[in-house]
Amino acid sequence: MKKASSLMELGFDANGASSGFFRPVADDAAGVVTHRRRLTKVSVIGAGNVGMAIAQTILTRDLADEIALVDALPDKLRGEMLDLQHAAAFLPRTRLVSDTDIAVTKGSDLAIVTAGARQIPGETRLNLLQRNVALFRKIVPALAEHSPDAILLVVSNPVDILTYVAWKLSGFPVNRVIGSGTNLDSSRFRFLLAEHLDVNAQDVQAYMVGEHGDSSVAIWSTVSVAGMPVLKSLQASHSSFDEEALEGIRRAVVDSAYEVISLKGYTSWAIGYSVANLVASILRDQRRIHPVSVLATGFHGIADDHEVFLSLPARLGRGGVLGVADMELTEEEAKRLRKSAKTLWENCQQLLGL
Ligand SMILES: NC(=O)C1=CN([C@@H]2O[C@H](COP(=O)(O)OP(=O)(O)OC[C@H]3O[C@@H](n4cnc5c(N)ncnc54)[C@H](O)[C@@H]3O)[C@@H](O)[C@H]2O)C=CC1
Ligand SMILES: CC(=O)C(=O)O
């Protein structure tokens, strides 16, 4: 039996097929525009749990005209593409293409990298560094060559260091290389607070910054709901919200990824929504503020000679990172952020000679 994802693959010529159904509205068909001139193309490199959750969410939210999927495993890749294509009747029209050759990403507006090793239960994100850097050496230069004007959005872990690596390997300006960072951790933080306060998580303003990982920093001093400072109100009503309790909540946010990994083997849905949220802000030029991994040199006392990527609230739009909010932090929060930066910097140092 011949397998196909289109009638063309079965030998039917598509040329002029639609003219049997439709006639041009004008006599002079040359003057009729039948195609939009500029389509938005998003590529997802790595069609695993995370890549497919992202592709699926981008499709449902109608964020791209074309999605190109790349993976090293041809059968899995084609299976994933066909499975999504078979939902075409229920989704906005989006062209889906896939190939093991990265050339399929040519002309992307946005390239999202999710390829690589993931943690096994108990492993930290930093443990993945060497394996995923080796992969990035192959993927990133090829991506940059085929889409020199794209924005790179890195998701593979350890995401902050790999965003630095992608920046170096691509030669792209720093505003066009972004790590998904703590956009996800901040959502987990907002979820926990929203449950406690019995409000919608979208109405909780709360940031986790720093490393997407064990040293992330919860910025309690700026947490608010309806413009009201949450920490002050919690501490006034419950004396139990002391430093130890706050650290316990931060730790619960960090541990939530480990818990999901130990239960189902990987995380996927939340990162899928988190990345689609970033894609919408970038491609639709929303100028929304997201905690994402950006070059943090010089912010909050991070040394000027430390080229380190970590999450800070950034304004995102069609040009990528349009600016980074210089938040007012307490001395303790700034100290923790510098400590997080130091952890990342030390790991980046091992990669010198890249
Ligand atoms: N930044 C974040 O918040 C999150 C990051 N992650 C990270 O995302 C990455 C992917 O995780 P999963 O999708 O669960 O793993 P997975 O194992 O399901 O998928 C990885 C995919 O990469 C593919 N791949 C390997 N080498 C390749 C190459 N040279 N070219 C193209 N594709 C290649 C594999 O064939 C596989 O399909 C991991 O590093 C994980 O830690 C996961 C969740 C959240
Ligand atoms: C795996 C990972 O980085 C996360 O879910 O946070």
Ligand 1 pocket by Cβ (under 6 Å) = 45-51, 70-73, 114-119, 128, 132, 135, 138-139, 155-157, 159, 180, 184, 212, 266-267, 271
Q: Any known ligand binding at 97? A: no
Q: How far apart are CA 105 and CA 121, in angstroms?
A: 32
> How does pLDDT run across 268-304, given as a tens digit for each residue?
999 999 999 999 999 999 999 999 999 999 999 999 9
The reported pLDDT for the residue numbered 16 is: 78
Task: Measure 146 CA to ligand 2 centroid, in angstroms.
Answer: 29
The reported pLDDT for the residue numbered 234 is: 86
- CA quadruple 117, 122, 126, 127: dihedral sign: negative
Task: Measure 261 CA to ligand 1 centroid, in angstroms.
Answer: 14
Output the DSSP codes for 170-219.
Answer: H---GGGEEE-TTHHHHHHHHHHHHHHHTS-GGGEE--EEB-SSTT-EE-
Structure tokens at 276: 């689609």
Beta strands in the chain (DSSP E): 41-45, 66-70, 95-99, 110-113, 151-154, 177-179, 204-205, 208-209, 217-218, 224-225, 228-229, 288-295, 309-317, 320-324
The reported pLDDT for the residue numbered 222 is: 96
The reported pLDDT for the residue numbered 187 is: 98
Q: What angle do CA 205, 211, 214 make, to 5 degrees?
A: 100
Say if strands 41-45 and 224-225 run parallel, antiparallel, or are unpaired. Answer: unpaired
Q: What is the atom index within ligand 2 of the atom nearest the CA of 118?
A: 1
Its pTM stands at 0.94
Q: Any known ligand binding at 71? A: yes
- Residue stretches of the chain with pLDDT short of 70: 1-3, 26-37, 352-354
> How does pLDDT run across 182-233, given as a tens digit for each residue?
999 999 999 999 999 999 999 999 999 999 999 999 999 999 999 999 999 8
Task: Measure 308 CA to ligand 2 centroid, in angstroms.
Answer: 20
Structure tokens at 175: 């505003």
Structure tokens at 321: 């990172």
The proportion of the chain whose per-residue pLDDT surpasses 70, expressed as a percent, equals: 95
Distances (CA, A) of 330 to 144, 207, 217, 303: 39, 14, 12, 18
The reported pLDDT for the residue numbered 124 is: 87
Q: Any known ligand binding at 155? A: yes
- Choice among 35, 196, 212, 300 that is catalytic: 212
Identity of the residue numbered 170: S
Distances (CA, A) of 336 to 21, 230, 252, 333, 339: 65, 20, 17, 5, 5
Q: What is the atom index within ligand 1 of the atom nearest the CA of 77?
A: 37
Q: How far apart are CA 313 and CA 208, in angstroms?
A: 9
Nearest CA, atom 41, ligand 1 = 118
Structure tokens at 74: 């041809």
Active site residue 238: no
The reported pLDDT for the residue numbered 237 is: 82
